[in-house]
Structure 1
Amino acid sequence: MTTIELKNRLKELAIRIIRLVDKLPNTPAGRAIGNQIIRSGTSPAANYRAACLGKSDKDFLNKLKMVEEELDETLYWLELLMEVQLVKSELLVDLYKENEELLKIIVSSIATMKGRMNNK
């Protein structure tokens, strides 16, 4: 996968999260989870863009770790939405799978970058 393709997938994830939050119920739980997931679900795209502009391998790696953390947090909020049934689980399955796949890609990229840095 190219850098451009990954940027686009992360941006699309952010768009899908924004649309999800706009459909959450206007309840204390809906607002609280919405505030959390909109932050964690939109930041990976921005952080990945910043990583691509990293000034060093270490800078790139640190920003990738931020992407990893935010994607993992987004998975948590999606799981919570499914478990408390604020949104029908079947409506979140594809979004959850995409988030999970992106997380695996980032984890793999982190491992590759660590390997490269260790070989220098």
Structure 2
Amino acid sequence: MEYRDLADRLEDFAALIIKQYSNMPDSYAGQYLAQQLIRSSCSAALNYGEALGAGTSRDRLNKLRIVLKELRECLRNLNIQFKSSLLQTDGAKPVQKENDELIRIVVTLIKNSK
């Protein structure tokens, strides 16, 4: 996989999250989790862009670790929303699947960078 393809996937993932919450939930918990999910998904995409422009391999590896941290936060957030019925099964499963695939890709990049 080329690095540009992953950048596009991360951007698409963040956009998918933003679209999912175009209408903010009414509950406090729903709003809190939705806002945090939007921040962490966008952070993953933005930090990957930083990783692409990193000056050193150490800096690149550090940015990839941040991307991984943000993606894992997204996954936990989605799981909480799914388990608390803030997200419907049909809406959550494709997003969770893409999130899981992105985590696996970034883990592989980190392992191969060492």
Same structural fold, with TM-score higher than 0.5 when normalized by the shorter chain: yes
Q: CA deviation at 1:24?
A: 4.1
Q: Deviations over 1:67-102 (max 9, x none)?
A: 000000000010011001112122110110001000
Contact 1:40 1:74 in 2 (8 A): yes
- What is the rounded CA distance, in whole Å, between the counterparts of 2:111 and 2:105 in structure 1? 10
Structure showing greater Rg: 1
In the other structure, the counterpart of 2:97 is 97
In the other structure, the counterpart of 1:58 is 58
Contact 1:24 1:86 in 2 (8 A): no
Unpaired stretches in structure 2, ≥5 consecutive residues: none
TM-score in terms of structure 2 length: 0.96
Structural mapping, 1:64-103, within 5 Å:
64-103=64-103
> Match of 1:70, as an amino acid?
E
Q: Percent identity?
A: 35
Q: Deviations over 1:36-94 (max 9, x none)?
A: 11111111111001000001000000000000000000000100110011121221101
> Match of 1:82, as an amino acid?
F
Q: CA deviation at 1:35?
A: 1.6
In the other structure, the counterpart of 1:3 is 3
In the other structure, the counterpart of 1:13 is 13
Q: CA deviation at 1:22?
A: 2.1
- What is the rounded CA distance, in whole Å, between the counterparts of 1:25 and 1:36 in structure 2? 13
Moved over 4 A (4+): none
Structural mapping, 1:28-67, within 5 Å:
28-67=28-67
Q: CA RMSD in A?
A: 0.9
Contact 1:61 1:113 in 2 (8 A): yes
- What is the rounded CA distance, in whole Å, between the counterparts of 2:10 and 2:98 in structure 1? 9
- What is the rounded CA distance, in whole Å, between the counterparts of 1:42 and 1:89 in structure 2? 23
Aligned residues: 114
- What is the rounded CA distance, in whole Å, between the counterparts of 2:90 and 2:83 in structure 1? 12
